Amino acid sequence: MGVNERLGGLGGVRSARIAQLARGESTASRGARTMSARDAAGAVGRGHDRADVDFARAAARAAHDAERARAADAGLGAIGSLLGEVRQLVTDGGRQVEVDAVLADVDRVAGSTTYGDGKLLDGSAAVRGVALPAADAARLGSVRRDDRAYHVGDLRTGGTLAGAPSGLATEVVDAAAAQVARVRAALNPARPSGPYAAPAAGGSQLNLVA
């Protein structure tokens, strides 16, 4: 075999190899394009998954807030109803023992209104941006007279308003009821809520622990 023939043969092998490499690169390019498409589709899929997760989380937060708001509203509604009883006792000259019993129920509702492990009516909680009050009798309502603040708890035995004429005592109870009504209205603007309103029908049930 002459030199030219050998070179020609090598050229043919080289050309075949180049063609093979070209075919390989083309296949690799198609594979790369396929993988890119898969990656893009996966990214879109993952994007949808994230959107679904974000939506689910937002829905869970909204449901959580709604349940907390219902629990707080039920507790405040019960307290509003009890305050109506206190007012009636004060204006009718009811027995002090009856006033004490109703105020004890106010404290019991305030301490028992919870969601999960958290108390809602101890002055530390907020729902949907609404600060919930400390609704125990000692801190509920506030009327100032002579540089002194009076609360509903002052109506119980031993308090400064126990057995007092109904004027200031009634004013204190009315202030407490108005405070409760304002918070209930903020929690549920679509439902009017006046002083001494009872819990909404179908609202959360309270579990009062003796």
pLDDT the model gives residue 46? 58
pTM of whole model > 0.75? no
Q: Where are the domains of the chain?
A: 69-187
Please identify which residue in the block is written with the tokens 């009856």: 98
Q: Which strand (E) or helix (H) includes residue 101?
A: helix 96-112
Q: Which strand (E) or helix (H) includes residue 149?
A: strand 148-150
Mean pLDDT of 24-43: 42
CA distance 143 to 155: 13
Q: Residue 31: which residues within 8 A CB-CB, separation 6 or more?
A: none
CA distance 138 to 151: 6
Lowest mean pLDDT among 6-10, 42-46, 98-102, 156-160: 6-10
Q: Exposed, middle or buried: residue 189 (CB in 10 Å: 0-12, 13-18, 19+)?
A: exposed
Mean pLDDT of 122-147: 94
Q: Which residue spans within 17-145 are E strands per DSSP?
A: 114-115, 118-119, 126-127, 130-131, 143-145
Mean pLDDT of 41-58: 68
Q: How confident is the model at residue 199 (pLDDT cuts 50, 70, 90)?
A: low
Q: Would you say residue 202 has pLDDT above 90?
A: no
pLDDT the model gives residue 36? 43
pLDDT the model gives residue 139? 97
pLDDT the model gives residue 112? 96
Q: Which of 173, 178, 197, 176 is nearest to 73 (CA)?
A: 197
Q: How confident is the model at residue 204 (pLDDT cuts 50, 70, 90)?
A: very low
Mean pLDDT of 84-94: 94
Whole-angstrom CA distances from 208 to 74, 78, 114, 125, 189 are 12, 11, 10, 19, 27
CATH of 69-187, one of 2.40.37.20, 1.10.260.40, 3.40.50.150, 1.20.1330.10: 1.20.1330.10
Mean pLDDT of 18-46: 42
Q: Tokens at residue 101, please?
A: 């019993």
The answer to whether 82 and 197 have CB atoms below 8 angstroms apart is no
